[in-house]
Amino acid sequence: MMMRVPEAFAAIMATVRDFGTETVPFEKATGRVLRETIYADRPFPPFDRVMMDGISIYYDSYIRGQRVFGLEDVQAAGMPQMQLRNLADCMEVMTGAVLPDLTDTVIPYEHLDISEHEGFRRFTIVKEVKKGQFIHRAGSDAPEGKPLLEPGIRLGAAEAGVLATVGKTQVLVSKLPRVVLIATGNELVPVENKPEAHQLRISNIYNLAAALQGLGIQAEMVHLPDDIQHLTTHLNKLIPAADLLICTGAVSAGKYDHLPEVLKKAGMQEIFHTVQQRPGKPLLFGAFQNGPVVFALPGNPVSGFMCYYRYVQPWLKACLQDAANKPEFAVLEEDVTFDKPLEYYLPVKLKCSPEGAWLATPAVYHGSGDLASLLLADAFMALPADQDVFRKGSSFPVWKFR
Ligand SMILES: Nc1nc2c(c(=O)[nH]1)N[C@H]1C(S)=C(S)[C@@H](COP(=O)(O)OP(=O)(O)OC[C@H]3O[C@@H](n4cnc5c(N)ncnc54)[C@H](O)[C@@H]3O)O[C@H]1N2
Ligand code: MOO
Ligand SMILES: [Mg+2]
């Protein structure tokens, strides 16, 4: 059944499922989707923290006119809090130290003249001082118990530091699905082979495997010939061991495009076959009862790649409960005409304008067989089916692949 893009997408999203959760060591959690709330276990920072190397004083002494301070002791980072005994003295303090008790103002070395008097160091203030300066107050960034990370966040570098600082050594994340990538085609040879004149190296499943790695997924990769018997035998083995099957090729009108028939015979319920779009029109989508969901992507390399970013990745992100799962928008930089009643996925190069908007220039592109054109593009821009002329300056959704 031929579908329009919005209905095809809705039908895909209706099959979203939860693969569950698992607990992993936080160092291994980068790139995974968080499934619990992470709270501040202590105030951020946990104590009044000295922000500059220098001295700390009791401000009232300064306001009464005192400018020269004798040294009482040194408070370094890692030392329990000390106390100033004589309010007319100062403590030498280091960045990261606890602010000594009975001091309330920090003066960096750069604002001091340092001299020696009878074997004792003395500090003379040479710059105006404000009460409370250079103190990072306890709890000023976050109070104890504040939720810092919410479920649905994909854990990155910034999150790794926060997990470490709150002592969250084990984190609950979305479990990853078992994904099998299947390349079909008698013309395909392994990448390490030298192809004959009529052959080519398998490429589609490698760009898809790399894209899946961006979600933390390591897919199993298989190459099958265009032969009903082989396809049937292998698929029957792969289906029970997968949550998601992504096939490429053999879904169009060719004599050797056996995949739709083989998948249906194996028990897949077809949800749709063909979408009103270019590229990617022959896309087949289905599901096995109590078994994997199947995206059978068209074989032309740009078609499969585009369908991955337009359909497969949003489906996977929704399954993983990734909160960041919406296309962005960009402004078209040139007039584009496309007069077929199909949604057109235009490969575009993106750049950011000085005003901070994404600008999209159509990439040089020779059609959906032009694998190398992807090197010149950053995203697919979706130009709707019910329009023929797309004007420079108009904004459309973009599915980014960089
Ligand atoms: N009579 C019609 N012919 C075609 C139609 C149509 O509607 N009517 N649709 C065209 C469109 S659109 C596409 S896209 C392709 C889709 O074809 P298939 O999904 O059946 O894919 P194949 O026939 O197996 O291969 C197409 C093309 O892609 C190359 N390919 C396939 N897999 C790989 C791979 N893993 N790595 C590299 N290259 C791959 C393959 O060699 C072919 O050149 O059909 C049109 N035809
Ligand atoms: O999906 Mo096909 O790529 O329109 O060429
Ligand atoms: Mg074909």
The ipTM of this complex is 0.98
Same domain, 182 and 300: yes
Same domain, 26 and 62: no
Please name the residues in contact with 36: beta carbons below 8 A apart, sequence gap of 6 or more. 151, 171, 172
> Of the ligands numbered here, which is closest to the C-alpha atom of 367?
2
Sign of the alpha-carbon dihedral angle for 40, 46, 50, 56: positive
- Ordered alpha helix ranges (H), 148-274: 157-165, 204-213, 228-238, 259-265
Same domain, 26 and 53: no
Sign of the alpha-carbon dihedral angle for 113, 115, 120, 124: negative
Question: Which of 248, 257, 284, 300 to mutate for ligand 2's pocket (most ligand atoms within 8 Å of CB)?
Answer: 300
The CATH number that applies at residue 31 is 3.90.105.10
What is the reported pTM? Answer: 0.94
51-65 residue pLDDT tens: 999 999 999 999 999
For residue 300 and ligand 2, the question of a CB distance below 6 A is answered with yes
280-321 residue pLDDT tens: 999 999 999 999 999 999 999 999 999 999 999 999 999 999
Please name the residues in contact with 10: beta carbons below 8 A apart, sequence gap of 6 or more. none
Residue where a domain stops, chosen among 113, 136, 159: 136
Q: State the closest ligand 1 atom to the C-alpha of 257, by its place in the atom list counted from 1.
A: 20
Q: State the closest ligand 2 atom to the C-alpha of 282, by its place in the atom list counted from 1.
A: 1
State how far the Cα of 202 lies from the Cα of 33, in Å rounded to an integer: 31
For the chain, the farthest-separated pair of C-alpha atoms sits apart, in whole angstroms, at: 101
Please name the residues in contact with 162: beta carbons below 8 A apart, sequence gap of 6 or more. 38, 148, 149
In this prediction, residue 2 carries a pLDDT of 83
Same domain, 309 and 353: no
Same domain, 166 and 150: yes
For residue 279 and ligand 2, the question of a CB distance below 6 A is answered with yes
Same domain, 284 and 207: yes
State how far the Cα of 34 lies from the Cα of 323, in Å rounded to an integer: 10
- Ordered alpha helix ranges (H), 24-144: 59-63
> Of the ligands numbered here, which is closest to the C-alpha atom of 303?
2
Our count of domains for the chain comes to: 4
Residue where a domain stops, chosen among 136, 163, 185: 136
State yes or no: cis peptide before 100, omega within 30 of 0.
no
Q: State the closest ligand 2 atom to the C-alpha of 277, by its place in the atom list counted from 1.
A: 4
Find the 343 Cα to ligand 2 centroid distance in Å.
12
Domain range enclosing 389 = 328-400
Ranges in the chain, pLDDT < 70: 1
Same domain, 14 and 26: no
Neighbour tally for 22: CB within 10 Å:
13
Same domain, 270 and 362: no
Q: Is 152 exposed, middle or buried (0-12, 13-18, 19+ CB in 10 A)?
A: middle
Find the 394 Cα to ligand 1 centroid distance in Å.
32
Find the 357 Cα to ligand 2 centroid distance in Å.
30
At residue 72's C-alpha, the angle toward residues 68 and 74, to 5°, is 110
The CATH number that applies at residue 332 is 2.40.340.10
Same domain, 63 and 107: yes
What end-to-end distance do the CA atoms of the chain give, in Å?
32
Find the 257 Cα to ligand 1 centroid distance in Å.
9
Residue where a domain stops, chosen among 319, 352, 377: 319
In this prediction, residue 93 carries a pLDDT of 98
Neighbour tally for 65: CB within 10 Å:
6
Please name the residues in contact with 111: beta carbons below 8 A apart, sequence gap of 6 or more. 54, 125, 126, 127, 129
Same domain, 39 and 164: yes
Same domain, 188 and 307: yes
State how far the Cα of 118 lies from the Cα of 255, in Å rounded to an integer: 101
Q: Is 10 exposed, middle or buried (0-12, 13-18, 19+ CB in 10 A)?
A: exposed
Find the 45 Cα to ligand 2 centroid distance in Å.
56
Q: Which amino acid is at 198?
A: H
Same domain, 229 and 205: yes
